[in-house]
Amino acid sequence: MRFMIIIKASADSEAGVMPSQELLTAMGNYNEELVKAGIMLAGEGLHPSSKGARVRFSGEQRSVIDGPFIETRELIAGFWLWKVKSREEAIEWVKRCPNPMPGTEAEIEIRQVFEAEDFGAEFTPELREQEERVWEQAKKN
């Protein structure tokens, strides 16, 4: 099972406050543990929403909204993509994580990633082949 581990933003992360050397060291050690355990597939920190944009869809219309975005608690400061045996295992690993926002309350969200078999009959053999081709090309890029 794959899970997206979402690190929620804080006022500091949205203000562009960079992590301390102490936190970078702790997170580096934690990431190393995840890799050695064969769990971590990807993981990155994100720039503040002030450097981002959103595209809003309304029927056929598209509109661009430049950051920053107001609701900090709804924003993402970083993520991991993990492969674990269960939601419970993901929870146990998150509980071992250094506080990503020292000096304040922090929240990390855990969300399961859809797998091909989750889509049922609608995900036809042709669509599965297409997805495989796309991911093979993406790996080459």
DSSP for 79-137 reads EEEEE-S-HHHHHHHHHTSPPSSTTS---EEEEEPP-GGGGGGGS-HHHHHHHHHHHHH
66 contacts 53 by C-beta, under 8 angstroms: yes
Per-residue tokens: 126: 């042709």
Q: Tell me how far apart the alpha carbons of residues 101 and 77 are, in angstroms, rounded to a whole number.
A: 10
Domains and CATH numbers, the chain: 2-115 (3.30.70.1060)
Helix, coil or strand: residue 51: helix
pLDDT for the residue numbered 71: 79
For 35-56, write each residue's pLDDT tens digit: 999 999 999 999 999 999 999 9
- Whether pTM exceeds 0.85: yes
Q: Tell me how far apart the alpha carbons of residues 2 and 89 are, in angstroms, rounded to a whole number.
A: 11
Cα→Cα distances 40→2, 5, 19, 44, 111, Å: 10, 10, 21, 11, 15
Angle, CA of 62, 139 and 132, to the nearest 5°: 75
For 44-96, write each residue's pLDDT tens digit: 999 999 999 999 999 999 999 999 998 777 899 999 999 999 999 999 999 99
